[in-house]
Structure 1
Amino acid sequence: MTGSTAVEDVIPDLSDPRTFVDAVPHDGFRRLRERDGLYWQPAKASPARGGYWAVTRFEDIVAIEQDPSAFTSTHGVSYPMIFPFPAPAPMCDNLMFTDPPRHAGLRRAAAAGFGPRVVANFDPWIREIVREVIADVESVTEFDYVDKFARTIPAYVIAKVLGCPREDRERIVDWTNRLFAAGMQTEDGMAAQIAAVQLVQEEIQAYCADMQERKRKEPADDMFTALAKIADAGDITQSEFLQWTLLILAAGFETTHTAIGQSMRMILENEDIRAATDRAVDEGISGKLANEFIRVISPAMQMARLATRDVEVAGTQVLQGDAVVLYFVSANRDGSVFAKPDTFNPWRTETATLAFGSGVHRCIGSYLAKLEVQILFEELRAAGIRLRLNGAPKRGWSNFINQITELPVARA
Structure 2
Amino acid sequence: MIAGPHTTEAKAIDLKAESAILVDAETGKILYSKNPDEALPPASMTKMMSEYLVLEAIDSGKISWDTTTQISDYPYSISADPSFSGIGLTQDKDYTVEDLYNAMAINSDNAATIALAELVAGTEGEFVKMMNEKGKEMDLPDFEFVNSSGLENDSLKENHPEGTDPKGVNLLSARSAALLAYHLINDYPKALEISSIPEVEFDGKTITNWNWMLPHNSVNFKQFHYEGIDGLKTGFTEIAGYCFTGTAERNGNRLISVVMKTKSEEQRFKETIKLMDYGYNNFEKVELFPAGYQIKGESTLPVTKGKEKTVDIEIKDAINIPIKKGEKDKYQIKYHLDKKRLTESNELVAPIKKGEKIGTAELVYEGEDLGFITSNETKQIDIITSDSVDKSNWFILMLRAIGDFFSNLFSSVVDMVKGWF
Same fold (TM over 0.5): no
Structure whose CA Rg is larger: 2
Considering Cα pairs closer than 8 Å and 6+ residues apart, tell me whether 1 or 2 has the greater RCO. Answer: 1
TM-score, L = length of structure 2: 0.25
TM-score, L = length of structure 1: 0.25
- Identify the structure with the greater strand proportion: 2
